[in-house]
Amino acid sequence: MRRLTSLLCGLVLALTAVLQAAPATAHSHTPVVFVHGFMGKGGQWNDMRAALVDSGYPADRLHVFSYDWARSNTTIAGQLADHVEGVRQQHGADRVHLVTHSMGGLSSRYYIKNLGGTETVDQWISIGGPNNGTNIANMCPSLMTPCKEMRHGSNFLSDLNSGDPTPGSVGYTTLRSPCDIVISPTDSTSLPGANNIRTGCVEHISMMWNRGVIDHVRGVVG
């Protein structure tokens, strides 16, 4: 009888450990916030989000930040800060990952550098971002603030890249394509202190759903 009791107690303890471990595993993924680019929209992340879900990332931890891309990057950064705070509170998470495309890399970097993001961002990924400017922005009206900010040598970029362009304990990754004619020159995406990756020949927008790019993102966010 004593042996049977011990056996039952052991089974109960083992079952309790399994039940306690399951929620921890389900909630171990750091929330991801996707930030689209100039003239972009949240739906452009659907393929990447679906691929991450297929690989085991909980769908409810994949968040899309949509915004008015005609605003200044500083304004967008403030909105992103509020969005990230909401995501952190929703999940009880200390940090989030930021996955960005094109101009989304600029507002997110401003948030990290100037609005406390070094304390709330774990991994930052820039896909085809004009981190040092792009020639095509010269074709965009100067009255549109984000166009002016994306030009080589703009005051916004000079301030953003001054000092340490990759501050804090955040992990920085950039992805650039040799066939991206929107970011000119293509190595404008790269930053000192980041893991700067050259992808295959992929068009600018297509980088958001390219399988190779998605695999790189998956490897960074886990």
Instruction: Note the pLDDT tens digit of each residue in 135-175.
Output: 999 998 888 999 999 999 999 999 999 999 999 999 999 99
* 21 within domain boundaries: no
Residue % of the chain over a pLDDT of 70: 88
CATH, residue 176:
3.40.50.1820
Answer yes or no: is pLDDT of 25 > 70.
Answer: no
How many folded domains does the chain comprise? 1
* 187 within domain boundaries: yes
CA-based nearest residue to 218, from 36, 29, 35, 90:
29
* 84 within domain boundaries: yes
- Tell me what the mean pLDDT of segment 1-18 comes to: 42
Structural domain range at position 67: 31-221
What average pLDDT does the chain have?
90
DSSP 42: G
Which residues on neighbouring strands pair with residue 63, listed in sequence order?
33
Place of tokens 């107690």: 9
Beta strand 171-176 with 62-65 is: unpaired
**Does residue 167 have a cis bond before it (omega within 30 degrees)?**
no
* 108 within domain boundaries: yes
- Tell me what the mean pLDDT of segment 17-34 comes to: 62
The 3-state secondary structure of 184-203, one letter per residue: CCHHHHCCCCCEEEECCCCC
Please state the pTM of the whole predicted model. 0.87
* 92 within domain boundaries: yes
Question: Which pLDDT belongs to residue 27?
Answer: 56
